[in-house]
Chain A
Amino acid sequence: MAMKRQIPFALVFIFGIFMLFQYFVPHESSEWVYEFLLDWIYIIGILALALGIWSLFRVSVDKIKTKKPNWVYSYVTLMGLFIMTVFGFTAKTGDSWGLYPVFVITFMLALFMLIQVLAKPASRNLYGLFGGAFLLAAVLIAILDRTWGFYFMEAKGLQNSMFRIFFDDVMMPILSTMFALLAFFIASAAYRAFRARNLLASLLLIAALIVMLRFNPYLPYAAYVAKVSNWLMNVPNLAGQRAIVIGIGLGIVATALKVILGIERGYMGKG
């Protein structure tokens, strides 16, 4: 029982107090322990990604299996996951691609059969058979075709042009378009706030309007607006920022202290 709850809290206390006192000790030994600990956190985070990917895989397969609404699109997620992984670990050895496209297609078909095996246990054997055949073909191509290879060195997989292409031409358009959606959403959010008609939202919108219009040369009294908006940014804005920052800082400090001292226990779970 102690192992389950007490030791974790003891660990939190020990490491918390250490980091706290480390700040005051400039000596080298405390410095390298500090750097180590930060590196460790980063590494654990990357290793934890395996848990995340496993969760995504499991949830997607489950959706297909139980035929939840929009289950078809889970295939798209899984295929996207697989194909990017394949590109991330393979690359050209020479100038041409050889049978690489064939390999990719057969390997993806094998993985597709794998999904089917997991999601449709009734026809498991049939899918398993097909999957095995495709996998065999893919492996044969991988062994025999020397124009490309599996790469585990120097991030050659990242330099795989297909990896880059998929990043640049599939991920980037979606990413930047989503970001661009914000412009539309700001307009609708501002409109809704305007209709809300309470003093606080109105104050917010008026201040926003003044700051937004400050660079607009076509307005009447443009210079005056620019002056007012400058004053706004430098005086009340600064005061408010400082008040919020102090509040947040105290909140963070208090919460961090509660966590270290074990007063705040909600994040650890029970049992």
Chain B
Amino acid sequence: MKRTTFVVMAVVAVLFLLSWIFKAIALKGTAEHYWIQGFLITFAAFLTLAVLSFLYKDNPFYKFAEHLFVGMSAAFWMCLGFWTTIVQNLIPRLSSSLSGFFEVPTIPGDYNFFFYIPVLLGLLLLMRLSPKGGWISRWPLAFIVGTTAGLNFIRYLRSDFIKQISSTFVPLFGTDWQGAGHFFSHLDLSATGQLALIAANWLIFVGVFTGLIYFFFSKEHTGWFGRASRVGIWILMITFGASFGYTVMGRVSLLVGRITFLFKDWLSLIS
């Protein structure tokens, strides 16, 4: 190992120990297992700083935190999936003797035996690991892809096509049309009045129209079509900008949360 690496690691180790000792002493009155608590808070702070060090450059502390996180989270989701879905939902439906072994209440139902099918499909999927029988793992894949394709087809046709069309049915000439003469003679020119609403509706309509034109693939974007397409992408960029700005505030508050942890829970500099 290089000398600087060794020195840095030694320094970090010493700081870790010091932090552990101080934290444990600080918690002596309040927590039951204060040595363990002290260690845990120190370790959490260490991991936080290790991840933050990523901003500077890749380093052994970040690598350690990253690899630890990957291994632990994979096992975490496996355990969670096993307990909540397999043991609590699937096994009670399959057989009462298995439910007895796992000591979960059986879920009664008329067609529970159908639940053997996903188990079978899951096993077919695991056949992937065998070099010869790998092709049969396509069947459960086909089932999943086909079912969700059908589901998504209908769902998005309804929400992103039909519903969106009907949302564009907004009045462009005020809420009751009684002829051009009536419209112009009764036009309210105040900023917050009818005119502003009508202008907004017009702008929305034009925005949707040009935005859709931008997404046309099979026609060349030249001439008037091209100009409309340009306006469309500008509107889209404004949309994305608004979304960007909206999300930024949320992210900053997360950072504040982490810094609060470091300064309040670990270093106790703020109360």
Contact = CB atoms under 8 A, between A and B. Distances in A.
A253 B200 contact: no
Nearest to A74: B67
B43 A49 contact: no
B197 to A, nearest CB: 11
Given A85-B78, A253-B153, A211 B241 contact: yes
Interface string A1-33: 001100111011111111110110000000010
B28 interface: no
B150 A17 contact: yes
A222 interface: no
A243 B212 contact: yes
Interface in B105-138: 111, 114-115, 117-119, 121-123, 125-126, 128-129, 135-136, 138
A145 interface: no
Contacts of A13: 146
Interface in A62-111: 70, 73-74, 76-85, 88-89
A95 to B, nearest CB: 13
B246 A211 contact: yes
A249 B254 contact: no
Interface residues of A, number: 121
A218 interface: no
Interface string B153-176: 110110111001001100000000
Contacts of A89: 79
Given A173-B47, A177-B47, A256-B152, A205 B135 contact: no
Contact of A183 (B103, B161, B167, B255): B255
Nearest to A269: B138
Contact of B238 (A52, A79, A85, A236): A236
A257 B239 CA distance: 29
Interface stretch (A118-126, A131-139, A149-157): A149-157
B160 A171 contact: no
Given A16-B153, A153-B103, A167-B76, A47 B255 contact: no
B189 interface: no
**SS of B interface (majority):** helix
A247 B71 CA distance: 39
Contacts of A180: 251, 254-255, 257-259
B248 A4 contact: no
B75 A16 contact: no
Contacts of B232: 243
Contacts of A268: 138, 141-142
A49 B79 CA distance: 10
A40 to B, nearest CB: 4
Contacts of A256: 149-150, 152-153, 156
B144 interface: yes
Nearest to A153: B103
Interface in B217-270: 232-246, 248-249, 251-252, 254-255, 257-259, 261
Interface in A30-52: 32, 36-44, 46-52
A203 interface: yes
B125 A48 contact: yes
A12 B142 contact: yes
Contact of A235 (B45, B90, B200): B200
B55 interface: yes
A84 B246 contact: no
A244 B240 CA distance: 10
Contacts of B152: 252, 256
Contact of B63 (A73, A166, A173, A249): A73
A77 B236 CA distance: 43
Question: Which 3 pairs across A and B sit closest by C-beta, in order of nearness?
Answer: A249-B160, A239-B207, A243-B211
23 contacts: A39-B118, A41-B148, A44-B121, A46-B82, A48-B122, A52-B74, A76-B64, A76-B67, A88-B78, A170-B68, A181-B55, A183-B255, A201-B237, A204-B244, A207-B237, A210-B245, A212-B245, A239-B208, A240-B207, A252-B160, A253-B161, A256-B149, A260-B153
Given A18-B150, A242-B204, 12 more contacts: A40-B121, A46-B81, A47-B122, A49-B81, A163-B79, A178-B51, A179-B251, A180-B255, A212-B249, A237-B239, A242-B167, A259-B145
Interface of A: 3-4, 7-9, 11-20, 22-23, 32, 36-44, 46-54, 56, 70, 73-74, 76-85, 88-89, 152-155, 157-158, 163, 165-167, 169-184, 186, 200-201, 203-212, 215, 231-250, 252-253, 256-257, 259-260, 267-269
